Amino acid sequence: MIKLAHILLFCLLYSPALLWAEAAKAPAKPAFTAPEPMSFGGVLNMLLGLLVVIALILGLAWVMRKYGRLTMSNQVDMKVLGGLSLGSREKAVLVQVEGQRLLLGVSPGRVATLHVLDSADESPGFEKQLDQAMDQQS
């Protein structure tokens, strides 16, 4: 029984050393060998990698352009309807804020409300005028 324990202990202690000795004799085989830099395979590999990177950049730019404008819950419904230059640094700007139109005077140091347009001041659009004209003819 003691001899069996000695043999087992000998095998457990010296088997890693024997395996390392065998591994040292065999030449190491690389897992991946890169192609030569100026070979056809190397150039093709570089071009394909470049195309993948360019495609990723264009794809991310498209996604940001399409979905980049996130709406915030505290934003006001506001549009600039038009503007007119009155001088070298002065403008008259027509804005629509939450359904109400405002005529603003804008200068370098000041923004002033020139006129508030009521809903009665709104002129109907071309489509509404055309519908009214068609209704009157029939």
pTM over 0.85: no
Could you give the C-alpha distances from 57 to 52, 61, 66, 70, in angstroms and in order? 9, 6, 14, 21
> Which structure tokens are listed for 125?
């659009």
Domain positions in the chain are: 36-69, 78-137
Q: Distance (Å, rounded) from C-alpha 80 to C-alpha 78?
A: 7
List pLDDT tens digits, range 95-129: 988 878 889 999 999 999 998 887 655 566 767 77
List pLDDT tens digits, range 56-85: 999 998 888 888 765 555 566 788 888 888
SS3 state of residue 51: helix
Q: Distance (Å, rounded) from C-alpha 127 to C-alpha 138?
A: 17
Element (H, E) at 115: strand 110-117
